[in-house]
Amino acid sequence: MDGPRFGWCCQYIPPDGDAETAKRMNPGTVTVATLTKLDGARAAAKLEEVLRRNLQSLHLQLAEVARHPPYRRLLRVNSGLLPVYTHPVGLPLYKEPAIRSLVETALEHAGRKAREAGIRIGLHPDQFCVINSASPATLKNSIDELEYHADILRIMGLTGGWHPHGAHVNIHGGGRGEGVAGFRRGLALLSDDARNLVTVENDEMSYGLDDLLPLADAVPIVLDLHHHWVKSAGEYIRAEDPRVATIVQSWRGVRPIAHVSVSREDLLDGWPDQELPDYAVLSARGLKARDLRAHSQRMWNHAVNRLVAEHMAWADFEVEAKAKNLAVDDLERDALGLGVVSGGTVGA
């Protein structure tokens, strides 16, 4: 499918609020401190226990996505899927035959399921992943983290060439010190598989969209509409904006990914849901950038949803609102109403 497509990120929220369903559908974790306290066999057993839960939750999430119409078949996989994968405590454990077999078998199955259902897969390391860092330790950790994410997609069968099946590992620009040149140096340190999966998104703090566009020859640009609105103090990028063409070109024939969310409902209480939030007006009310950049629970603003629908002509969207799949329902209702997608059943 060429698009449009949109989906949720990492965690599933049961519409009925059932706690057992939430536990079953979402990954857990185990800390380095916990594993350090255990001897080798018990540490391996504990990690295997968590991995079985996490890998099962991935299969359940994929099954949930697959039961929806094709335009909702997009999923950002939780980066914590394989805990302590890059840590010295975890490295020998993941070499254990039983653990390696468990991971490989489950991820290969998940990859087949995703490809057969046409589910686009992405990952998003935490913001500590800074490949333009001047710190050798931070740079090494960041490269290791990206290679870990590439390993997940490699075992799933989603590597080999430029963003196979739209797969991607998205990061932020990093620190300002080393700038775009530092980012290019970091890219060069990655394996071919990892480098061919990396994308970079604009943020509200260090790298706005215009700061990242010089990287369009080296890495696909992910447009985050909400981050841009905050960073620019109120600009809404339209689909016909000339910068969009540069973003599209950066993906080299692969359909781009974009991000969307809205400012928090409680902070914008009383704002008409049919009108785009006005940054200047909200600032005059005393709201700061740090307030406005926080993600909403739902895609409550129909005007923002209509803007997203315009951009669906060229991009797929990861919805970053905190209510996850429930917020995707909101976007779906407006997209169906506008005729941008068809044949769906909201909340089915």
Average pLDDT by stretches of 10, the chain with 348 residues: 87 96 96 93 96 98 97 97 96 96 98 98 94 95 97 98 97 90 96 98 94 97 98 97 98 98 95 97 96 97 98 98 97 95 62
- Per-residue model confidence (pLDDT) at position 348: 39
The answer to whether the CB of 58 falls within 8 A of the CB of 153 is no
Residue range 202-341, CATH number: 3.20.20.150
Q: Which of 232, 180, 243 is nearest to 203 (CA)?
A: 232
- Per-residue model confidence (pLDDT) at position 2: 72
Residue 290 has, within 13 A of its CA and on its CB side, a CA count of: 0
Euclidean distance between CA atoms 150 and 131, whole angstroms? 15
Q: Kindly list the domain boundaries of the chain, sorted by start residue.
A: 202-341
Euclidean distance between CA atoms 144 and 137, whole angstroms? 11
Euclidean distance between CA atoms 162 and 192, whole angstroms? 9
CA 140-146-149 angle, to 5 degrees, is 145
- Per-residue model confidence (pLDDT) at position 345: 53
* Alpha-carbon dihedral sign for residues 55, 10, 313, 170: negative
